[in-house]
Amino acid sequence: MFYIVISNKENFQKAAKLICNEVKLNGIEVNILELNDVKKIEDNNYNYLYFLTNETIKIKNCIKKFNKNHIINKDFLYNYKNKFTTYKEIEKLSPKKYNFNNFFKIKLKKFPIIIKNKKHYKNKNFKANNLNKINNILTKINKEEYFIEDFKKGEEIKVYIINNTYIKNEKIIYNKTLNKILKNLTSSINIECASIDIIIENKKHWIIDINPAPAFFKSKESRIIFCKYIKNKLK
């Protein structure tokens, strides 16, 4: 049985159904499961779980009893702390990041900058062009929950990762440079499946967001490849 695990606190029901329908076309028995019910599932070679949710603390508590071969992204999920620490592990691949105290100590600050929440599911970002703007933003947020990132301007693309297959715009990527970057990323943070947002700036590829629970909304081809991956896992 393949389980797609969602949370009733998030709005992933439609995405879960899309994946579910594609999985059924591959002749796989599938069920959509609420996060709180994972404890009822037995850990055996016939059950496989995909967490389509960003409630990482609850996920950690749920997956302890499971063999990592029965959970997609188990190594990543089990070691996950927050966005900031994840991106620190791929410093060479992503824009430079700071906590607020370190940023304010820099004498020659570069603007603009982006202020991001450390929690993955809180994706509201702030752009600041000067210190006054940063100070204004700080009156509205808890700075301990945010970090600062260098702003990068360029073409933004979304890539889906499924094992060692990379999909952009419904096509598998065969770009030597980009494939190498994505392979380094997956090995650095031990992730099997994800959606990655990348900015291409003067031929430099910057990873600006990692989603370890992609819904594959924007790519039917990715859903198809994902389901084939699941089918091979369940053999």
Per-domain boundaries in the chain: 2-78, 96-150
Q: Calculate what percentage of the chain has a pLDDT beyond 70.
A: 98
Summarize pLDDT for 27-65 with one digit per residue, the tens: 999 999 999 999 889 888 889 999 999 887 788 888 888
pLDDT in tens, 71-86: 999 888 888 887 777 8
Q: What is the mean pLDDT of the chain?
A: 90
Least confident of 38-42, 138-142, 145-149: 38-42
pLDDT for 121 equals: 62
Q: What are the φ and ψ backbone dihedral angles of 220, each rounded to 5 degrees?
A: -65, -40
User: Which own/partner contact pairs does 13-20 have at CB distance under 8 Å and 24+ positions apart?
Assistant: 15/52, 15/215, 15/216, 15/217, 16/52, 16/215, 18/215, 18/216, 18/217, 18/223, 19/50, 19/52, 19/215, 19/216, 19/223, 19/226, 19/227
Q: Tell me, what's the pLDDT at 206?
A: 95
Residue keyed to tokens 């850990």: 43
Residue-level pLDDT at 81: 80
C-beta separation of 80 from 212 below 8 A: yes
- pLDDT at position 120 is 66
Cα dihedral 159→4→76→195 (10° resolution): 10
pLDDT value of position 201 = 93
Residue pair 158/195 in contact (Cβ under 8 Å)? The answer is yes
Please state, in angstroms and rounded to a whole number, the distance separating the CA atoms of residues 23 and 17.
Answer: 10
Confidence of residue 9 (pLDDT cuts 50, 70, 90): confident
Q: State whether residue 130 is helix, strand or coil.
A: coil
Map tokens 């049985």 to a residue: 1
- Angle formed by the axes of helices 13-25 and 220-233, to 10°? 60
Q: Is the peptide bond before 214 cis (omega within 30 degrees of 0)?
A: no
pLDDT score of 122: 65
SS3 category, 208: strand
Strands 2-6, 48-51: pairing is parallel
Does the global pTM surpass 0.85? Answer: yes
Tens-place pLDDT, residues 164-199: 999 998 999 999 999 999 998 998 899 999 999 999
